[in-house]
Amino acid sequence: MREVRADEADRDGATTVSLDDVERAREAIGGRLHRTPTFTSRTLSELTGAGVRLKAELFQRTGSFKPRGVLTNLAALSADEKARGVIGISAGNHAAALAYGAALEDISALLVMWQGASEQKIEATRAYGADVDLAANGPGEAFDRLAELTVESGRTLVHPFDSPATIAGQGTVGLELVEDVPHVDVVVVPIGGGGLIAGVATAVNGLRPQARIIGVEPERSDAMRAALDAGEPVRIDPVSVADGLNAPFAGDNTLPIVRELVDDVVLVTEDEIAEATRFLYGRAKLACEPAGAAATAALLAGKVPHEQDESVVLVVSGGNVATATAVAILAGP
């Protein structure tokens, strides 16, 4: 990942990420991660009148797209930074990814999580060898805890969504989907803090500028939509079953990219997320987590504008779901 120069900051102080950065991120990642498949979905295509494909990031190492950004960040660390260790914050997917990546590089990792986070995701993070701090009561408080521990520990922060390296790494999803579907018309991406959609939008816009990009958030976790409406990041109290999207605010760096490159950010209900999770499990045989079903939820709910026979790619972002949550959703209303 290149060092961002001062003259590359926008008027709000945010840094830019380019297609070249995304391509360099893929080089930094190398062969250490999977190239995830892009499936056609006949049923979704018949239901919606579009040519629908699913970018299956739930098959990535650790069960989500997150290692892409992690390995890009770790590749940029100095020897001294590696010796001091890294720190991150996450409801689960970034935590497991950072723990996994740090183990590959023999780097000490500390993850700030919070009370009420998925026990399955906490244990997965510990299983990769990371330490976990659970002092916070929720995601907002956890970011305050992160700031304290970063200073106290001297560790380097690997941000879950807002660093240029994270955005560039997540953008490799976009490189792959355009290579797999060169004439894609619409790309639909779930949003938490915005790292995935900012990276994907950067890559897709660079390779296929005529494609439209739609972001999806839960109604109960709408940090990006709130930031777009307010003109700046605002704190929210996210409580969606799609815990992978429960960011308490949008990023200072992700927001300007979304504002510039994303055509719309739509909201889905908890019921629509649950219905899409059941659909993907039963009809596409994809055991995704609720966050991973958000893009499909938006399409099934008629919230993704498209023309007849247009090519639509839905990013299925992850598959790490607690057993109890999965059972409750699959059992239906």
Range of the domain at 85: 67-157
CA-wise closest residue to 49 among 300, 317, 287, 226: 300
Q: Judge whether residue 10 has pLDDT over 70.
A: no
Angle between helices 254-261 and 195-207 (to 10 degrees): 40
Whether residue 243 sits in one domain with residue 187: yes
**Residue 66 appears among annotated catalytic residues:** yes
Residue 7 belongs to a domain: no
Residue 1 belongs to a domain: no
pLDDT band for position 16 (cuts 50, 70, 90): confident
Given 132, 157, 182, which residue is the final one in a domain?
A: 157
Of 64, 221, 311, 317, which residue is the catalytic one? Answer: 317
Q: Which residues pair with 215 in a beta bridge?
A: 189, 265
Whether residue 188 sits in one domain with residue 288: yes
What is the pLDDT, as a whole number, of residue 118? Answer: 84
**Residue 285 appears among annotated catalytic residues:** no
pLDDT tens, position by position, 45-97: 999 999 999 999 999 999 999 999 999 999 999 999 999 999 999 988 999 99
Edge to edge, the sheet with strand 86-89 lists 131-136, 109-114, 86-89, 156-157
Whether residue 314 sits in one domain with residue 235: yes
For the entire predicted model, the pTM comes to 0.94
Residue 45 belongs to a domain: yes
Whether residue 254 sits in one domain with residue 126: no
Whether residue 225 sits in one domain with residue 284: yes
Of 66, 118, 240, 311, which residue is the catalytic one? Answer: 66
Q: Length of the chain in residues, anyone?
A: 333
Report residue 268 as tokens. Answer: 């889905």
What is the pLDDT, as a whole number, of residue 119? Answer: 87
Residue 2 belongs to a domain: no
